[in-house]
Amino acid sequence: MAPLGLVTFLTDYGLDDPFVGQCHAVMAHLATAVRVVDLTHAIAPGDIAHGALLLADAVGRLPPAVHLAVIDPGVGTGRRAIVVAAGDRFLVGPDNGLLAPAVAALGGGVAAWVISDPPALPWPAARTFDGRDVFAPVAARLAAGDDPQRFGPAVDLVALQPHALPAPVPCHGGLDAAVVHVDRFGNLALAARPSDWPGGWPPAAVAITTPDGTRWSATAGLTFGDVPTGGLVCHPDAAGRLALAVNAGNAAEVLGLDRGDVVELRAVGTH
Amino acid sequence: MAPLGLVTFLTDYGLDDPFVGQCHAVMAHLATAVRVVDLTHAIAPGDIAHGALLLADAVGRLPPAVHLAVIDPGVGTGRRAIVVAAGDRFLVGPDNGLLAPAVAALGGGVAAWVISDPPALPWPAARTFDGRDVFAPVAARLAAGDDPQRFGPAVDLVALQPHALPAPVPCHGGLDAAVVHVDRFGNLALAARPSDWPGGWPPAAVAITTPDGTRWSATAGLTFGDVPTGGLVCHPDAAGRLALAVNAGNAAEVLGLDRGDVVELRAVGTH
Amino acid sequence: MAPLGLVTFLTDYGLDDPFVGQCHAVMAHLATAVRVVDLTHAIAPGDIAHGALLLADAVGRLPPAVHLAVIDPGVGTGRRAIVVAAGDRFLVGPDNGLLAPAVAALGGGVAAWVISDPPALPWPAARTFDGRDVFAPVAARLAAGDDPQRFGPAVDLVALQPHALPAPVPCHGGLDAAVVHVDRFGNLALAARPSDWPGGWPPAAVAITTPDGTRWSATAGLTFGDVPTGGLVCHPDAAGRLALAVNAGNAAEVLGLDRGDVVELRAVGTH
């Protein structure tokens, strides 16, 4: 099998500290020909749930790669460092649930290993920076074609830390779903997919009720352009989630919603 | 002709969402040997005018490359996706005026194509993420040497959406010009170039009047060091624009100016 | 000697302007096979002291590379542009003290050169953007294997601008040290290392007094996990500095400390 040659990288490190760059430098050093692509480093510190969701939503629309993810409040404790094989990819990160939804999105894990013997670096490993000293080195060498067995013993997949993403609550004529991500444009991704919709997506229109009781009417469509400027559309987004968007506007501001808020969606009319 | 091998990338995606990284991953997948350089992703959502200006200002001091730019409030509507050949480069993006000033800065377009058949990806194209599914794939393959005709039919250059950058208003003894960019250091780039100055740049000094009527005196120079610390200089910046700067200070704060403000500049004395 | 092949890049340019990307593009153009890794571009404008510290702290845990650093309030004045050879690396930047602590951290300089003849670019050099037109081109070509003599004459190392990092003040039973960096997680890096501690690190515990007179008790440990959730630990961080951290918390917020604050640390008990 040809080496994957590509690492995608997601953390809660931010870009102000040199942490991300130090991990990049280590990977460039250990695997000269491997490319490393930053997915995001803006996850709030320690927010495993948010990172797990964004990673799981992305993997299905990423090319085959080693998916390196580090949100690791337990660094320096006994939590394990793991590699999971899923589909034609590897996932590398702490065993704290961060990788689990992405593994599931890829159809489930094939095998897993506990990292006990990461590639050697020219400095002693720190106790608080496994991203640089453990995870990035393993990801780089996996992407260069190394066998995961080189880095530690196999572990039973069922022994790994699970993590469930928020799910919709189906109701008569619709569902309730939490906002799981608000992007820069104010688009609201929901804990629901078109396949979750009772009777099949799309209904003719959707009535939306926000936590404060306000009701909105949205077109059930496929893209922003299905509604006039300023109009509200509920559509499958680029990650396959149902999302609320305002054409040429900011749905989060218009609806007054933030991540974690639960909205009621009900069919209006017939498809 | 050897492949350009380089893509420059400008969007309004920000760096908090995984959008930029997903585009990078697609390009790494489709064109392993192509390098991708981020110009900026911090343009305000949908601000085509600002993105067009920064791109046009940059291209003249960038090496030959495919210039990928995506500020695309019309994604999912009927707006066209285009490739423009200009000089020894290609520009790729939506046909909404974003590329037009850069094309002009490169001496005008040579040919253009409408993208109807982008490179295939391992997932179905989304309706709301042409950056990942249309523009980045085409840019990557163009940089790898593919012929633009592969991605769709030629289109007449005059049929493309135009976009004019702000221009100075010449006056007796000077000009009026809008602030078109404020950089991180507070330097104020103006909608004017040295060649716009009546009688030729530099005059001995420049009298500046801000919108609130305050008057300032600036040295007409070439660099910050032409004035003492805290002094105000009007000089051609690294993009070739007339700019207002305070040596070791922040001109935007000192003058109380922001993007869009129009300032009056008048010659004082003789060169 | 094989080319270093790697450039690390630190500036105060931020990521909102296209400055960093323009430097990357120049390097990709001049040295196709060289990789460029961003350490950070979030240093406050002109804050040479902070950049010098982060660079010096990083170099010891970076692979051999050309370390390009540009915080350059004197651009356009007479300050020199320099290359310093130290260990198996080169450092490139303005001669304003920015590089000096990193050179010291690498065991001192071996040789230095003043840049008078940077690689040619397809545009005239600007007076205010030496990052793009001078430093990045030299760094790229050095990483590609060019001899530093190609870019200008040698200069005596003692003629370069010095810069001293903050040092601890040893006291009976401990030391006083300034906070020199606050990272995204609120960890507080101090101007002290374990080797600075009287009698050797670690003591059994550390009493900490903040500038407002508040006293705290910290465990002297090796990592966050040495204390319970919410506990305060003083430990050597990933850069080798003594640091204050709260397990699963934000020490900067808990202790009310910011960069520049001086804290008293005193041993409690016996090791």
Query: pLDDT of B201-242, one tens digit each?
Result: 999 899 999 999 999 999 998 888 889 999 999 999 999 999
* Chain A residues whose beta carbon lies within 8 Å of the beta carbon of residue C62: 22, 25
Residue C271 has pLDDT above 50, yes or no: no
Q: Taking the CA atoms of C53, C57, C60 and C66 in sequence, report the sign of the dihedral they define.
A: negative
Give yes or no for C149 touching B (CB within 8 A). Answer: no
Please tell me the predicted confidence (pLDDT) of residue B75. Answer: 86
Please tell me the predicted confidence (pLDDT) of residue B270. Answer: 53
Task: Summarize pLDDT for A131-171 with one digit per residue, the tens.
Answer: 999 999 999 999 999 999 999 999 999 999 999 999 999 99
CB-nearest partner of A58 from B22, B121, B122: B22
Structure confidence at residue A270 as a pLDDT band (50, 70, 90): low
Query: Cα–Cα distance between C88 and C142 in angstroms, integer?
Result: 12
Query: Cα–Cα distance between A213 and B38 in angstroms, integer?
Result: 43
How close B265 gets to chain A, by Cα (Å)?
A: 37
Q: Which of B29, B121, B184 best probes binding to A when mutated, by most A CB atoms within 10 angstroms?
A: B29
Contact B17 A60 (CB under 8 A): no
Q: Which two tokens stand for residue A47?
A: 């927010």
Give yes or no for A240 touching C (CB within 8 A). Answer: no
Query: Cα–Cα distance between B262 and B268 in angstroms, integer?
Result: 19
Residue B271 has pLDDT above 70, yes or no: no
CB-nearest partner of B60 from C12, C78, C123: C123
Q: Which two tokens stand for residue A256?
A: 């007054």
Q: In chain A, whose CA is at the least distance from the CA of C15?
A: A15
B163-185: burial string, b at 16+ Cβ within 10 Å, e else: bebbebeeeeebbbbbbbbbbbb
* Chain A residues whose beta carbon lies within 8 Å of the beta carbon of residue B13: 184
Q: Which of A9, A11, A16 best probes binding to C when mutated, by most C CB atoms within 10 angstroms?
A: A16
Residue C58 has pLDDT above 90, yes or no: yes
Task: Summarize pLDDT for A213-238 with one digit per residue, the tens.
Answer: 999 999 998 888 889 999 999 999 99
Residue C1 has pLDDT above 90, yes or no: no
User: With left for phi above 0 and alpha for psi between -120 and 50, is residue C200 left, alpha or beta?
Assistant: left
Contact B73 A248 (CB under 8 A): yes
What average pLDDT does the structure give for chain B? Answer: 95
Please tell me the predicted confidence (pLDDT) of residue C204. Answer: 86
Q: Which two tokens stand for residue C35?
A: 């990789």
Touching C (3+ Cβ pairs <8 A), the chains are A, B
Please tell me the predicted confidence (pLDDT) of residue B269. Answer: 72
Task: Summarize pLDDT for C135-172 with one digit per residue, the tens.
Answer: 999 999 999 999 999 999 999 999 999 999 999 999 98
Q: In chain A, whose CA is at the least distance from the CA of B43?
A: A184
Closest Cα to residue A123, out of C202, C63, C189? Answer: C63
Angle at B246 between CA C162 and CA C181, to 5 degrees: 45
Mean pLDDT, rounded, for B61-89? 94
Sheet bearing A81-86, strands edge to edge: A35-40, A6-11, A66-70, A89-94, A81-86, A111-114
Please tell me the predicted confidence (pLDDT) of residue C231. Answer: 94
Q: Taking the CA atoms of B166, B170, B174 and B175 in sequence, report the sign of the dihedral they define.
A: negative
Contact A224 B128 (CB under 8 A): yes
Query: Cα–Cα distance between C61 and B165 in angstroms, integer?
Result: 46
* Chain C residues whose beta carbon lies within 8 Å of the beta carbon of residue B193: none
Query: Cα–Cα distance between A251 and A187 in angstroms, integer?
Result: 6
How close C19 gets to chain B, by Cα (Å)?
A: 7
Q: Residue C202: is the preceding peptide bond cis (ω within 30°)?
A: yes
* Chain A residues whose beta carbon lies within 8 Å of the beta carbon of residue B46: 248
Angle at C123 between CA B252 and CA B219, to 5 degrees: 35
* Chain A residues whose beta carbon lies within 8 Å of the beta carbon of residue C228: none
Contact C24 B10 (CB under 8 A): no
What average pLDDT does the structure give for chain A? Answer: 95
Please tell me the predicted confidence (pLDDT) of residue B77. Answer: 78
- Determine contact, residues B191/B269, Cβ cutoff 8 Å: no
Percent above pLDDT 90 for chain B: 91
Please tell me the predicted confidence (pLDDT) of residue C76. Answer: 78
Task: Summarize pLDDT for C191-239 with one digit per residue, the tens.
Answer: 999 999 998 899 989 999 999 999 999 999 888 888 999 999 999 999 9
For chain A, give the number of residues.
271
Give yes or no for B120 touching A (CB within 8 A). Answer: no
Touching A (3+ Cβ pairs <8 A), the chains are B, C
Q: What is the DSSP letter of A71?
A: -
Contact B5 C126 (CB under 8 A): no
Contact B237 C17 (CB under 8 A): no
CB-nearest partner of A8 from B25, B75, B122: B25
- Determine contact, residues A268/A209, Cβ cutoff 8 Å: no
Residue A66 has pLDDT above 90, yes or no: yes
Percent above pLDDT 70 for chain C: 99
Number of other residues whose CB lies within 10 A of the CB of residue A183: 22
Structure confidence at residue C269 as a pLDDT band (50, 70, 90): confident
Number of other residues whose CB lies within 10 A of the CB of residue B271: 11
Q: What kind and span of H or E run contains C88?
A: none
Please tell me the predicted confidence (pLDDT) of residue A254. Answer: 97
Give yes or no for A107 touching B (CB within 8 A). Answer: no
Give yes or no for B219 touching C (CB within 8 A). Answer: no
Please tell me the predicted confidence (pLDDT) of residue A271. Answer: 44
Task: Summarize pLDDT for C96-109 with one digit per residue, the tens.
Answer: 999 999 999 999 99
Residue A1 has pLDDT above 80, yes or no: no
B-C interface: how many C-beta pairs under 8 angstroms? 91
Mean pLDDT, rounded, for B37-44? 98
